A and B are shown apart, each in its own frame.
Chain A
Amino acid sequence: DTGVSQNPRHKITKRGQNVTFRCDPISEHNRLYWYRQTLGQGPEFLTYFQNEAQLEKSRLLSDRFSAERPKGSFSTLEIQRTEQGDSAMYLCASSSSIPTDTQYFGPGTRLTVL
């Protein structure tokens, strides 16, 4: 499968625990985006990488959230001290270096915080 992949697909955790999600973009894509989607809403931008550089972060992204893309390929999103309000679908997307090129989405990781 040459599309964007994400793991795990589902994660249930207790409030206060840390969680980490992984995104593997399409191999030739050097832009990688993280979005969060709650029920009935469109995806909301969280952060994006150009290669290994994190170039932009949304003000939605609290300091409990951190994202990395150490080698410019896969990326991880970590949430520390999870809260119930963090429950959502976390979507990853990738695109080529052209800013307005198509963003292809992964299947998402659904996080449930109990």
Chain B
Amino acid sequence: GENVEQHPSTLSVQEGDSAVIKCTYSDSASNYFPWYKQELGKRPQLIIDIRSNVGEKKDQRIAVTLNKTAKHFSLHITETQPEDSAVYFCADFTGANNLFFGTGTRLTVIP
């Protein structure tokens, strides 16, 4: 709902390592959780999403997990590459018909 907390705000990893970003939400009616990647000066682009009837979803090096009981969801990027460097935003969607975004995580992958 209207309160989505995202951590960490910045994250630096060595190329090849994994990165994990976590978000918590407050509205138990939230039922859809997308993750967007935004490169500098560009539009947010969806990279993966999960709906509340699923606990985990994976797409190649990217995965998202959802814990409805604890009201948190996480983005996992494995085998990070320099082109993964960007700002990542989580969001949730409730019956209010719009997305509420987290404050973003700036990921830097060090070659």
Residues of A within 8 A of B (CB): 33, 40-45, 48, 55-56, 58, 91, 99-100, 102-108
Contact = CB atoms under 8 A, between A and B. Distances in A.
- Which label, helix, strand, loop or mixed, suits the secondary structure of the B interface? strand
B42 interface: yes
Contact of B103 (A42, A91, A99): A42
A103 B43 CA distance: 12
B90 to A, nearest CB: 8
B93 A106 contact: no
A38 to B, nearest CB: 11
B98 A48 contact: yes
A7 to B, nearest CB: 14
B91 to A, nearest CB: 7
Contacts of B103: 40-42
Interface of B: 6, 31-32, 34, 36, 42-46, 49, 51, 89, 91, 93, 96-104
B43 A40 contact: no
Contact of B32 (A48, A100, A106): A100
Contacts of A91: 43-44
Contact of B43 (A42, A44, A105): A105
A42 B98 contact: no
List of 7 A-B pairs having minimum Cβ-Cβ separation, nearest first: A42-B101, A100-B32, A45-B98, A105-B43, A42-B89, A105-B44, A107-B43
